[in-house]
Structure 1
């Protein structure tokens, strides 16, 4: 768990958010399978570990946004541009709009903001003169790689320490959990 997180201060409520032991209020919210006390304790530790990971990722995003003086949407667009450049692919405003799931007008505002900040340049598309190709500036790319990219790349170290079968177990677990909590299966969620 990161040092700056909300749970660095003793908070018995926050500490018990993922405790599924008997008599815990969470049992009213979810159907807990018939498991032994040891299994419930282990699952509780697993849920806390996932919460710690989310908190750490959130802290990294907030710190990187503050450092780069950009919004989360801006950072996602820049990450997309870095990957496209590494792959040798041209990026159009429409591709950014589709990736970010935003309108053409919002994309124009985003690109105007990033261009004013010296983070991207627009060039005429080499094969379609009606379109622009968007490129990240070398300075922004270097800054993003040196800070945020370097921090995120450390996740690879944790994955590399696992054995092949352990990684397959983690992959299966994360995919299963994503499927279980997918908003597409929630009858209360808007379409």
Structure 2
């Protein structure tokens, strides 16, 4: 069971981290374009700022998956490192429960907000193929999607900590 969970977890973490890195590269290009059009050509682009912001939001929520998988939250690391082995497992369980509760709230209310904004569109953006407006719900969807993917990472990390089988691959490596 832990093996299947570990396989699914690796797949989700690598895919989300790889996509987050691609979004960072794309966001950098769009931001560079925005700077050139605004300060060099003195004709600011209408779509680049909104696009860069939207890409950043998706990048952050997809990157959350890898952060939670590694347990790379500084305050939590400090507490776990100072605790004895038995207390460490109890703390890991408590931290995972609190994290899952927060992720549940993010999924629930993120989904509601996505649905609520589905009829609104992003200012300055249209579909280049159809000319239709692009829904702002696509940006809000980053919250429930990132949180749902993070649930798998939190459960996989907790399972490894409780079983005591944290593999060497715990350091997340992504080939791009």
Q: Above 0.5 in TM-score?
A: no
Higher helix share: 2
Larger radius of gyration: 1
Q: TM-score normalized by structure 2?
A: 0.26
* RCO higher in structure (CA 8 A, sep ≥6): 2
Q: TM-score normalized by structure 1?
A: 0.25
